């Protein structure tokens, strides 16, 4: 791939403003845009469902109940394992694109390590995936019900992986479009087959799919590097290179205060004129805005990084001021009162505190609270 000249010199405030706008954090979208917004940001990270609901609610004029309805009644959203092998909510109509971009065509490049981890042969691995898909339709099955259908004669290791809350053997089936989550049955999660559960399904060419995913990534997280995309997507060998090669005619290089990165040429005018109207945001746990790059140094001062990126991959809820992290926050909800506790990294101005109160009131409405306390 040829080295490109620098097409624009940008400052970090312009980049932050551009990303905030593309993430619908500068101004929340209308409620009817809920599924589209989730699609535009590349999904909401959902290993903690309450956090995923708030990730949507800080971007859309909606209540958390609206997110649940989109998932389980309207089915315009879907929950499954996606980037980085992590649970996400995404727009249902986009799931075939994700599957094309992370299905067997690309999985084969990691097959040896997967087989060693799962302690199965290649033939058994794909047979189990196919059997999972064949056992599911639009009627939700619990994990134990699914295991009862496919577990006969399987090794102890395979049964352990099927029962694992981390996905285990179910995760590759999900990445191949054979499984997604259905509505919980009591305390038990359920699974369905996407082609039967979702309003529509289609097949997407794998090579075209990974290029389109990179294009969408740059629209929301650009400017960025191939390494950033690789980190966001999940580090599969060859994927970032294939994506960037497919986008070569659409990409320009920019310099952000001396740091080289790539952007879509079509986005350059918006980056140059980007400004922030709503300077303060309260981002929930695992917010996508923080998940898009290999390094967060441009968003979080290194001295505070461990307060944001905590042990076991835990990403704190943060106070964002003009696109940069100014502290963390926690909340409790009791008797319809939302209590927000701040842990700022430094002194917060009166303007910022007023902005925090406004954002806390937005979150309170989403959660059905009628009173807000900020401490």
Q: Would you call 293 helix, strand, or coil by DSSP?
A: coil
pTM of this prediction?
0.94
How many CB atoms are located within 10 Å of the residue 4 CB? 13
pLDDT for residue 3: 76
In a domain, 339, yes or no: yes
CA separation, residue 220 to residues 3, 11, 20, 265, 291 (Å): 24, 17, 9, 14, 11
Q: Where are the alpha helices (DSSP H) in the chain?
A: 12-22, 34-40, 49-57, 64-72, 95-102, 104-107, 111-118, 122-135, 143-150, 156-163, 170-175, 194-197, 206-221, 226-233, 239-246, 268-273, 305-308, 350-367
In the block, which residue shows the tokens 């609610």? Answer: 57
Instruction: Measure the CA–CA gap between 222 and 144, rounded to whole angstroms.
Output: 42
Bridge partners, 253 (sequence order): 6, 262
pLDDT for residue 109: 52
**pLDDT tens track of the chain, all 375 residues?**
457 899 999 999 999 999 999 999 999 999 999 999 999 999 999 999 999 999 999 999 999 999 999 999 999 999 999 999 999 999 999 999 999 999 877 765 556 777 788 888 888 888 888 999 999 999 999 999 999 999 888 888 888 888 887 778 898 899 999 999 999 999 999 999 999 999 999 999 999 999 999 999 999 999 999 999 999 999 777 899 999 999 999 999 999 999 999 999 999 999 999 999 899 999 999 999 999 999 999 999 999 999 999 988 899 999 999 999 999 999 999 999 999 999 999 999 999 999 999 999 999 999 999 999 999
Cis check: omega of the bond before 223, within 30 degrees of 0: yes
The pair phi, psi for residue 179, each rounded to 5°, is -155, 140
Indicate the pairing of strand 180-185 with strand 188-192.
antiparallel
Token readout for 82 is 């996606």
In a domain, 63, yes or no: no
pLDDT for residue 285: 98
Element (H, E) at 333: strand 324-334
In a domain, 186, yes or no: no
In a domain, 298, yes or no: yes
Q: Which domain holds residue 356?
A: 280-374
In a domain, 364, yes or no: yes
In a domain, 354, yes or no: yes
**HEC profile of 234-286:** CCCCCHHHHHHHHCCCCEEEEEECCEEEEEEHHHHHHHHHCCCCCCEEEECCC
Indicate the pairing of strand 6-10 with strand 251-256.
parallel
DSSP string, 345-371: SSPPPHHHHHHHHHHHHHHHHHHT-SE
pLDDT for residue 59: 98
Bridge partners, 329 (sequence order): 342
pLDDT for residue 1: 47
- Identify whether the C-beta of residue 280 lies closer than 8 Å to the C-beta of residue 352: yes
pLDDT for residue 108: 59
Instruction: Measure the CA–CA gap between 361 and 277, rounded to whole angstroms.
Output: 18
CA separation, residue 253 to residues 136, 268, 359 (Å): 46, 10, 35
Question: What is the number of structural domains in the chain?
Answer: 1
pLDDT for residue 163: 86
pLDDT for residue 236: 78
Cβ-based burial of 58 (10 A; exposed 0-12, middle 13-18, buried ≥19): buried
In a domain, 370, yes or no: yes
**CA-based R_g, the chain, Å:** 21
């Amino acid at each position: 791939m040829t080295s490109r000249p620098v097409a624009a010199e940008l400052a970090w405030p312009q980049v932050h403003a551009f990303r905030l706008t593309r993430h619908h954090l500068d101004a929340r979208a209308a409620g009817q845009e809920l599924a589209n917004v989730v699609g535009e940001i590349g999904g909401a990270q959902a290993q903690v469902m309450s956090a995923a609901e708030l990730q949507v609610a800080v971007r859309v004029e909606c209540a958390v109940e609206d997110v649940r309805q989109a998932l389980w009644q309207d089915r315009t959203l879907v929950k499954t394992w996606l980037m980085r092998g992590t649970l996400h909510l995404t727009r249902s109509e986009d799931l075939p694109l994700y599957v094309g971009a992370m299905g067997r065509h690309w999985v084969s490049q990691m097959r040896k390590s997967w087989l060693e981890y799962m302690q199965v042969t290649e033939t058994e691995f794909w047979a189990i995936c196919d059997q999972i898909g064949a056992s599911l339709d639009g009627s939700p099955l619990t994990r134990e019900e699914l295991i009862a259908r496919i577990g006969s004669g399987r090794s102890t290791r395979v049964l352990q992986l099927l029962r694992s809350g981390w996905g285990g053997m179910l995760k590759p089936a999900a990445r191949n479009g054979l499984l997604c989550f259905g509505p919980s049955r009591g305390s038990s999660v359920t699974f369905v087959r996407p082609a039967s559960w979702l309003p529509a399904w289609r097949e997407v060419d794998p090579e075209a799919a990974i290029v389109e995913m990179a294009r969408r990534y740059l629209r929301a997280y650009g400017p960025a590097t191939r390494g950033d995309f690789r980190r966001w997507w999940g580090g599969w060998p060859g994927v970032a290179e294939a994506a960037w090669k497919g986008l070569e005619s659409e990409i320009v290089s920019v310099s952000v205060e001396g740091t080289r990165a790539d952007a879509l040429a079509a986005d350059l005018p918006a980056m140059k004129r980007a400004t922030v109207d709503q300077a303060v945001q309260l981002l929930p746990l695992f917010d996508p805005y923080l998940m898009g790059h290999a390094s967060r140094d441009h968003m979080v001062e290194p001295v505070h990084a461990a307060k944001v990126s905590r042990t076991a991959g835990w990403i704190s809820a943060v106070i964002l001021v003009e696109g940069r992290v100014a502290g963390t926050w926690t909340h409790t909800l009791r008797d319809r009162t939302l209590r927000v506790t701040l842990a700022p990294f430094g002194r917060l101005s009166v303007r910022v505190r007023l902005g925090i109160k406004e954002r806390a009131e937005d979150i309170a409405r989403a959660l059905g609270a009628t009173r807000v306390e900020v401490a």
